Amino acid sequence: MVAEPGLPRPMRIRASLCIVVLAGPVLAAGGVPPRPASAPDSHALPPPEVVLAQREARIAARSGRLDEALARLETLVAAHPEAIEARAALLELKVDLGVPASELRPLWNELLDLLTRPGSLPRPVLAERLIGRFWRDEEALRKLARAMRAWARRRPDDLALEGLLLELLGRIGAREEAFARARARAERARGVIECTRALDAALAAEDWEGVLEFAPCSDPDGFDLRDEMLRLHALVELGRFDQARSLLAETWERPEGGVNLMRSWALRLAWRAWDGGGREFSEDLFRRLAARYPGDGPLQKTVLHLFGDAEELAAARAEQASRMAEIGDPFELVQQAATQLAAGDAAGAWPLLERAVERAPEMTVAWQNLAIAAIQLERWDRARAALDIVLAGNPDDTMALYNSGLVAVRQQDWRRAVQDLEHLLTLDPAAEAAHYYLYKAWQGLGDAAKAGEHLRAYEASRKGP
């Protein structure tokens, strides 16, 4: 029998962090950001109330309370008409309830309008779900194909998306288009392979001029986010900070760029530019990231301390003093709760953490520890809600991704577990315990080959070198 990894340990607020917070802005590490006012709704992370409302509707549906789930989703869609996932869930639920197709057309058309809006981000996972649900509805599939064609134009090298589109085109009878796309992809792939080999060689040799030459591999006349990131990296390494800043501005304005630019990579690049003397480029990238992630406390403090003027520093101190006078000090609550969690007293830590998140909902460490307490108390729904809030603020939070995968396995939400844990392993390949829960998830999905692969990886990690 395979031994399960231990439960996660609580996070503590270090004394140095407390000191910095008193002099910095009120935003704490990785908290839930408000919706960016300048970003289109189709690009923004869903606000916490939408995430929680969707979760409550999903729980109601799974518990057989379909009327309650329907009412919750209709209320949510009315309040947030551009919440795509909520609108899709409402459409699927109405199909399950036997609502006639003629009554579903307006809802379906509204969903397709959102999916095909200029600049709307590709959603292949949602598309795959809708294809499976509406497999016999050719009219609905034709409308979905319009959205997927637009996505494929923006992501010409996304093989999974292209494959899904080819499958859909075959289903709606557009075989000539499917054959043409398949041939074009094969021809493009031959050129991309040679270019990719040259690019890999340039990267291995740290030949940054070569990287600039070969980076547009996927689509020389189009846009590929990986290529743009490599070009930015090369320009910074070569000290061409003015060119890097121009390319950053161009990339950031694209729907595929600023939203999806890897946060951890961009932070490393900003520090690299800072160390290399490119202060203006560094400040530009740091401030863009701070605007994109307003709930990331350490990032906000970094920008403030590196680039803040006297007026910004004074405003931050005044805001902090006002906030603490209003809500009291939630840091002591988190510290005390962390001590109790470490001692195995999750029940005692629970009320302290509930008070902390109520008083300071932007404090990520409080939500993280609340999730850990919920896991130890086997309150899976509350753990899921807390982790969704953390991941809404920072989708690359490795601790939250691991705990989310653990909770998803406990809830038998196998696909969510695979999604979060595979993303975790791309960010941190050393997260060996993730293999155990991926083994359980793939086992739940009935894929014995993948389950065995992760089981072997987990057992090998336990044996050591």
Q: What is the CATH number of the domain that holds 438?
A: 1.25.40.10
**DSSP-derived 3-state class of residue 39:** coil
Same domain? For 342 and 415 the reply is yes
Same domain? For 368 and 453 the reply is yes
Same domain? For 278 and 346 the reply is no
Q: Is residue 434 part of a domain?
A: yes
Q: Is residue 103 part of a domain?
A: yes
Say what the pLDDT of residue 269 is.
Answer: 85
Cα–Cα distance between 57 and 43 in angstroms, integer? 23
- Overall number of domains in the chain: 3
Please tell me what DSSP assigns to residue 119: T
Same domain? For 21 and 71 the reply is no
Same domain? For 350 and 400 the reply is yes
Say what the pLDDT of residue 388 is.
Answer: 92
Domain that holds residue 397: 15-33+325-463
Same domain? For 266 and 336 the reply is no
Has this prediction a pTM greater than 0.85? no
Question: Tokens 């549906």 map to which residue?
Answer: 61
CB 437 within 8 A of CB 407: no
Q: Is residue 39 part of a domain?
A: no
Q: Is residue 263 part of a domain?
A: yes
Cα–Cα distance between 418 and 408 in angstroms, integer? 9
Say what the pLDDT of residue 327 is.
Answer: 46
Say what the pLDDT of residue 371 is.
Answer: 92
Same domain? For 210 and 186 the reply is no
Residue at which a domain ends, from 191, 215, 242 = 191
Please enumerate in sequence order all residues whose Cβ is within 8 A of that of 322, keeping only pairs 6 or more positions apart, or say none: none
- Each residue's pLDDT expressed in tens, for the chain with a length of 465 residues: 556 665 555 554 433 233 222 222 222 233 322 222 222 333 344 566 677 777 777 787 777 788 888 888 888 888 888 778 888 888 888 877 888 877 877 887 888 777 767 666 667 777 777 777 677 777 778 878 887 887 777 777 676 677 778 878 877 888 788 777 777 766 665 566 666 777 777 777 778 887 777 776 655 455 566 777 888 888 888 888 888 888 888 777 665 444 445 667 788 888 888 888 888 888 888 888 888 777 676 777 778 878 887 887 777 777 766 655 554 567 878 887 887 788 777 877 888 888 888 888 888 888 999 999 999 888 899 999 999 999 988 888 889 999 999 999 999 999 999 999 999 998 888 888 888 999 999 999 999 899 899 888 888 877 755
Please enumerate in sequence order all residues whose Cβ is within 8 A of that of 389, keeping only pairs 6 or more positions apart, or say none: 32, 48, 51, 52, 367
Residue at which a domain ends, from 292, 313, 337 = 292
Question: Tokens 């292209």 map to which residue?
Answer: 162
Say what the pLDDT of residue 383 is.
Answer: 92
Cα–Cα distance between 197 and 59 in angstroms, integer? 48
Say what the pLDDT of residue 207 is.
Answer: 80
Widest CA span of the chain, in angstroms? 68
Q: Is residue 299 part of a domain?
A: no
Same domain? For 184 and 52 the reply is yes
Same domain? For 210 and 184 the reply is no
Q: Is residue 298 part of a domain?
A: no
**DSSP-derived 3-state class of residue 30:** coil
**DSSP-derived 3-state class of residue 45:** coil
Say what the pLDDT of residue 245 is.
Answer: 86
Estimate to the nearest angstrom the gap between the alpha carbon of 108 and the chain centroid. 26
